[in-house]
Amino acid sequence: MSNTMRRWGIIKQIRKWGLKAIDSPQGVAVDDTILIAVHTKKWRYLGELDWIDYTTLKPLITAYKENKLNEYIKENKLTIHNLWKDKEKENNKKAYYAQRSKNYV
């Protein structure tokens, strides 16, 4: 499946569940809160740097709608990708991403 088809499939599903989905260069932004990657099965909170795995879209969106994303991460033992060795650089990047997230709203 091409990335364009996958991107529009994600947007269509999210809108079917009554949520706002916006196409962005990094993926699909959901309700100005989370970003779902198109190339891989990962998501992250807008304004944060670390990506988190997911298996299928429906449980992720259900957890989002029920405001239980942290429980979803713990229950599914999902991996948060963070391989930073330089903590100062990590903190600078995270501050930059937090500031940049305002562009999505």
Q: Which of 7, 16, 41, 46 is nearest to 29 (CA)?
A: 46
Q: In this model, does residue 54 exceed pLDDT 70?
A: yes
User: Taking each helix axis from N to C terminus, what angle separates 57-65 and 3-16, rounded to the nearest 10 degrees?
Assistant: 40
> Pick the residue with more confidence: 65 or 1?
65
Q: In this model, does residue 100 exceed pLDDT 60?
A: yes
Instruction: Tell me what the mean pLDDT of segment 7-20 comes to.
Output: 92
Q: Of all residues in the chain, what percent carry a pLDDT higher than 70?
A: 87
Residue 46's pLDDT is 85
**Residue ranges covered by each domain of the chain:** 3-104
The residues near 22 (Cβ < 8 Å, ≥ 6 apart) are 28, 29, 32, 104
Instruction: Tell me what the mean pLDDT of segment 64-85 comes to.
Output: 80
